[in-house]
A and B are shown apart, each in its own frame.
Chain A
Amino acid sequence: DGGITQSPKYLFRKEGQNVTLSCEQNLNHDAMYWYRQDPGQGLRLIYYSQIVNDFQKGDIAEGYSVSREKKESFPLTVTSAQKNPTAFYLCASSILGTADKETQYFGPGTRLLVL
């Protein structure tokens, strides 16, 4: 089945620890995105990538880092500099074609909790 997988489903972070969230897609999509969702709020863009080895900051990139070494993979690292990391993290991907026809496909999400 084609789709987007995220792991783990739940992740616990200790103070001062960096943690990495995995996102993999087998849809052959060019672009990948990371969003953060806080309770009762919409999604906010952290980072996005339109091509391998290139990525751009979104609205709330501070305290996060990403890499895009393969087209299928876009891992997100939550660093110790992110002081309020507790949230639901969603990964998405899309084809880069005609902008007005593009939609994004989302993974099942990872819930990050701080111990």
Chain B
Amino acid sequence: KQEVTQIPAALSVPEGENLVLNCSFTDSAIYNLQWFRQDPGKGLTSLLLIQSSQREQTSGRLNASLDKSSGRSTLYIAASQPGDSATYLCAVSRVGSARQLTFGSGTQLTVLP
């Protein structure tokens, strides 16, 4: 059974800092790994998708890496801003499971002005 773990559960940083969020998964048989953002009481917004054959993806100040063999991904946020405050969730798409996503429990990020 695929399990996804995110560390830390919560993180508070001052504005302008660079930071790294971690995600680990137990089964390397995945189609892709995705990072989502969730604001309080809202739905999820897709940030980055890394295909199983890729090592990283970048979008603006965000960079996500994938090491499938070790079951790890990181989300790097450069020059953090108060508007980045949200919960960040990672999810993996399991091979042979009709594209089902397995989610981690998220990292709640607070960027202090």
Nearest-CB residue, chain B, relative to A90? B43
Chain A residues whose C-beta falls within 8 Å of the C-beta of B81 in the assembled complex: none
Q: How big is the B interface, by class? A: 20 to 34
Chain A positions near chain B (C-beta within 8 angstroms): 4, 31, 40-45, 48, 50, 56, 58, 88, 90, 92, 94, 96, 99-109, 111
Known contacts: A94-B99, A100-B52. The answer to whether A42 contacts B104 by CB under 8 A is yes
Chain A residues whose C-beta falls within 8 Å of the C-beta of B93 in the assembled complex: 99-100, 102
Contact A42 B46 (CB under 8 A): no
CB contact between B53 and one of A40, A90, A100, A109 (< 8 Å): that residue: A100
In the docked arrangement, what's the CA distance between A51 and B5, Å?
Answer: 31
Contact A108 B43 (CB under 8 A): yes
Chain B residues whose C-beta falls within 8 Å of the C-beta of A50 in the assembled complex: 98
Chain B residues whose C-beta falls within 8 Å of the C-beta of A88 in the assembled complex: 41
Chain B residues whose C-beta falls within 8 Å of the C-beta of A45 in the assembled complex: 100-101
Contact B32 A104 (CB under 8 A): no
